[in-house]
Structure 1
């Protein structure tokens, strides 16, 4: 019994009998009218209920927020029950949303209503057949997949904490859940073989390589064993001994065997059926899936052909600007020769991994000094710069970001790929920091998480067109922040923008026009200063996760177009800090919703005195 209930019971027992009797003779009170919740209240409750269902179905999302209620599991992924639960939840959310009067909402809540409707309708589409079936039968690739995500999650260096004995026990239970999901993945891939939904050979080969790397780690060198090597000193001797034995047994007898089962299946049963054509154009139902993925990642109705043409035009524009910088630094030769010069000249190389990481920390200090010129708010969430974990570095991009926790206890991390160090060059470092860290992903994501007035589905969610579009837009702010004073860094910015423009061409080329892997790699080497290692990893990324790479340029073009509209229409009344607050202040919006919001803001600003 709670203290409150105990107090109430004792208080009632102490009342004089006469008072209780008097109370009993009073007339019953008039019925209290039930006040219907306002539209804003109804919407807030819907968001809360929907978010709670999402966390229950997807415990990793809760873990990422520091919500430990479901920390002993990762989810019932790839099961029929999970698919049915997601489908039912999205249907119910849309039905409840339809009962809320949008016209009665506050301006911000009207925006959130539109975002929730858009995202839920799209999610329902992917939760419905045939898209749900197709994606379930393609559960693993070398870029996304539980087989590589889970060891990182279990390393003690990711979103799952390993600070208490319960944290360690939860980690053991998650391992059991992981094994169930991995064995289920094998079943789903067998179904995919029969249905004609299989990965291309290059993806299969990369996955086999990843599995082999993890298997060869053994037990005590395993990523899964790192929490034992870093066990808190305040654990009792008995707990340390018990947990050490439990982790050794779990890794040896549960984790490594499931990796071996998966590797054997991929090599002997799956690989013979893998696609020869890398793009979705070569898979049954591939064009249907690609069309849906294009919409999901760009949040537009643009077709692959339209996006391909935009990419070609952007490549041509950026090429002209590159030529200008090549001439500025006095290089005698073609642009292609200049690319090779940047790839190979020792002045652009790093002597060590430590030198590379130190250079990024130097950039960080310069960016911090310039931020008040463009932004009104700062973020509290700390962030760190770390090398990409060794077991995934070969197939990873040049850098990526992992968000911190909303309470600031877990920092955001800017991961820098130090694999094949000679292929990593100095031009473009400033731009990469701007994209992944500040004012790019770390700033945008942390700002949303630290704004409690934003609904949780937006504080902790979003879409690629917005988040990656903002990251690419952030790259263009270098000069305004006091960076890009060196022409080689300016060229590096153009080279990074060229990468995102080429993605429009190459992703659609592979999946909608039948391009080969080799054709795509050659296109990227011919049009940029990328090294062959990076170009190969990029192309294989597009093969593995179709459509995702389109988000960057489409989102950036939208944000830049909206800024230009605001600058032209508002003239001297334009405040870049206020514009950025409008873009960032309500979380990650689909492009259609963002456009409506900014244009309404422009109209209000024009009308104000």
Structure 2
């Protein structure tokens, strides 16, 4: 009896130890966290839901009240706690990466709320109010309910704008505001929607036509409701915001420039550096990288000037490029035609650079008039999820005398293909990515790829004209200068004029663009660092792969590897490329 009891006791201990040592697979728990976070976003941000193809909340705008921000913060912290309970050693390699990326995203959102970024809901060229005029394009208009949802959403604009205004007023009181110096003329982005008649408002566009199934009575009734909603909802909200901006915000915005002069101090700028570069680099390290790149690129630019037998200084050559009519289109149509021609030429070269190409097409279109005066030279705009829209490469046709043709090849390759359109479209078509990664955009990866795409133009046979090659170099120099001036503004006390002078002295960018870019860097700390930092990492990894693989290196396979997992932090990208190189060797 004693023997049996002893045996049972030992057996129970063995079973307990065995069960304790068994690792529970946490994959399901991880994906449940992803799902819960996604659902929370859809439930609390109707705009995000609309663009994600979920139309249950198309009748309202989000809440951005302090109470809602506290709820968001608590929810995000609960997600972090759940992520920290996941046993990483039970996950597959892919899911360890998914966990790492998601943890980073959530942690960054927490810091953003804690630093009160939502007190500054706009920057020098865009903001919470600038994209709303195109929101209806992501909404269905097939049923009476669809139209009623849109009407209700328009009538919710005043509440939404009032919450944004309340946050901005708190920002003024606490010293968390956009610097005053970059806000001059910004009211044009608001004023364009303050109209005297609903017919002048872009928000009335959906009421211009109806499905054939609608009766005449339905059309008349909905159109009348739409007229009232546009004026009492959207226009009223923009008018209120315009009044607040001109009479309260602009006069009282902070006089300082740098992010390190906000209440969060230099730690806030460190957060922005890590957020946008995905790397642990100091402002001083980035500044030095920038200075070295500026010196290297300047030598290449001098060589181009010498090749065209220009007689004069570097400054004289820049002035020649900025003022000679041969380098500028005379009509908006001509500029768009040239951009479209470049876009088609690079299409034909893609099979030599990539194995996998996206299905989604893209178009070329002008930057909308309400955005153009304060907007950059061009930008890629992707479609809403589930829509039948293509992507678009927006070209700024405002003030043609500051839109040089010699930059257009580099700009088109960056924004269209092989740049942002190709990169984003491939990511959206990857089947085995969790939902949050299909539309994820990490700036260092995305903008680094965009700048690397400009470089790929050399291999694709572009920049044969020396002035176009100088345009490519001036774009690369521009991104190198960003490392110098962004850190200069936000960590070293540089003035606005010093930044404008640095850009105009080292690049062929028109003075107007030097000014708008400077204001962008001041109002959006850290974002400008992502381009050059990301491009340098991609080039470094390509050089590594070429050295390791020798004649077996295939640039198409390298590019497929870089883009094949969607947007990732640069340290994750490095691991993926090195794993691919090792697999090729084996």
Question: What TM-score, normalized by structure 1, do the two folds share?
Answer: 0.88
Find 1:391's aligned residue among 343, 350, 370.
370
Q: Is the CA contact 2:76–2:110 (under 8 Å) kept in the aligned structure 1? A: yes
Displacement after TM superposition at 1:408 (Å): 6.2
Cα distance in 2 for residues equivalent to 1:398 and 1:195: 34
Paired residue for 1:81? 67
Whether 1:311 aligns to 2:290 is: yes
Q: How far 1:163 sits from its partner (Å)?
A: 4.9
* 8 Å Cα contact 1:275-1:283 kept in structure 2: no
Matching residue within 217, 222, 237 for 1:243: 222
Q: State the SS of the aligned residue for 1:400.
A: strand
- The equivalent of 1:466 in structure 2 is 445
Q: Do 1:465 and 1:552's aligned partners in 2 also have CA atoms closer than 8 Å?
A: yes
- The equivalent residue for 2:46 is 59
Per-residue deviation, 1:161: 4.2
Q: How does 1:396-435 map to 2 (within 5 A)?
A: 396-407=375-386, 409-435=388-414
Seen in structure 2, the aligned counterparts of structure 1 residues 305 and 38 have a Cα distance that, compared at 3 Å, is same
Which residue does the alignment assign to 1:109?
95
Q: 1:585 and 1:217 mapped to 2: Cα distance?
A: 50
- Secondary structure, in 3 states, of the residue corresponding to 1:205? coil
Pair 1:173-2:152 in alignment: yes
In structure 2, C-alpha distance between the alignment counterparts of 1:235 and 1:387, rounded to whole Å: 33
526, 547, 550: which is aligned to 1:568? Answer: 547
Query: Is 1:520 the counterpart of 2:499 in the alignment?
Result: yes
Residues 219, 141 of structure 1: alpha-carbon distance in 2 compared, 3 angstrom cutoff: farther
CA shift, 1:304, in A, is 1.6
C-alpha deviation, 1:227, in angstroms? 2.3
Instruction: Report Cα offsets for 1:479-502 as digits up to 9, x if no partner.
Output: 222322222221111111111111
**Aligned equivalents of 1:440 and 1:70: distance in 2?**
33
RMSD of equivalent CA atoms: 2.2
Secondary structure (helix, strand or coil) at the match of 1:385 reads strand
SS in structure 2 of the partner of residue 276 of structure 1: coil
SS at 2:187 equivalent: helix
Cα distance, 1:239–1:123 mapped onto 2, change above 3 Å: same
Partner of 1:43: 30
Indicate how the Cα distance of structure 1 residues 281 and 225 shifts in structure 2: closer, same or farther if over 3 A, else same: same
Q: 1:507 to 1:164 in 2, by over 3 A?
A: farther
- Cα distance between partner residues in 2 of 1:452 and 1:70: 27
After alignment, is 479-488 or 502-511 more displaced? Answer: 479-488
SS at match of 2:263: coil
Report 1:184-195 matches (<5 A): 184-195=163-174
2:211 counterpart of 1:225: no
Secondary structure at the residue paired with 2:364? strand
> Residues 166-565 of structure 1 correspond to what in structure 2 (within 5 A)?
166-216=145-195, 218-229=197-208, 231-232=210-211, 235-407=214-386, 409-565=388-544
Structure 2 CA distance for aligned equivalents of residues 162 and 143 of structure 1: 30
Note if 1:146 corresponds to 2:132. no
Quote the Cα distance in structure 2 between the aligned partners of 1:102 and 1:369. 44
- In 1, Cα distance between equivalents of 2:410 and 2:353: 16
1:296, distance to aligned residue in structure 2 (A): 0.8
Change (3 A) 1:481 1:164: farther
Pick which of 61-70 and 281-290 moved more: 281-290
Which residue is 1:28 aligned to?
none
CA distance in 1, matches of 2:85, 2:352: 44
- The gaps in structure 1 that reach 5 residues or longer are 1-34
Residues 228, 501 of structure 1: alpha-carbon distance in 2 compared, 3 angstrom cutoff: same
Shift of the alpha carbon at 1:144?
3.3
- Structure 1 distance, partners of 2:461, 2:307, is 20
- Tell me the distance in 1 between the aligned counterparts of 2:211 and 2:186: 34
Give 1:406 shift: 4.9
Q: Which runs of 5+ in 2 are unaligned?
A: 1-21
CA apart distance, 1:544: 1.8
Describe the SS at the equivalent of 1:207. coil
Partners of 2:376 and 2:367 in 1: how far apart? 9
Alpha-carbon distance between aligned partners in 1 of 2:465 and 2:211, rounded to the nearest angstrom: 46
The separation in 2 between residues aligned to 1:89 and 1:547, in whole angstroms, is: 26
Residues 366 and 153 (structure 1 numbering): CA distance in 2 closer, same or farther, change over 3 Å?
same
1:42–1:432 distance in 2 versus 1, CA, 3 Å = same
| Partner in structure 2 of residue 136 of structure 1 | 118
1:197 Cα deviation after fit = 1.8
Cα distance change, pair 419–161 in 1 and its aligned pair in 2 (3 A): farther
Give the 3 Å change call, closer, same or farther, for CA 530–51 of structure 1 in structure 2: same
CA distance in 2, matches of 1:298, 1:389: 30
What whole-Å deviation, never above 9, does each CA across 1:86-106 have from its counterpart, x for those lacking one? 223322322332333323333
Distance 1:597 1:103 in 2: 19
Q: 2: distance between equivalents of 1:441 and 1:399?
A: 12
Query: How many angstroms does 1:233 deviate by?
Result: 5.5
Q: Tell me the equivalent position of 1:71.
A: 58
The equivalent residue for 2:12 is none
Deviation at 1:331, TM superposition (A): 1.6
* Shift in Å, 1:284: 3.5
CA gap of 1:388–1:279, structure 2 versus 1, over 3 A, is same
**Cα deviation code 1:521-572 (max 9, x no counterpart):** 1111111111111111111111221111111111111111111111111212
Q: Is the 8 A contact 2:204 2:226 kept in 1?
A: yes
| Partner-residue secondary structure (3-state), 2:292 | helix
Q: Is the 8 A contact 1:382 1:408 kept in 2?
A: no
Partner SS for 2:78: helix
Provide the TM-score with structure 2 as the length reference. Answer: 0.91
Q: d(CA) in 2 for partners of 1:144 and 1:263?
A: 15
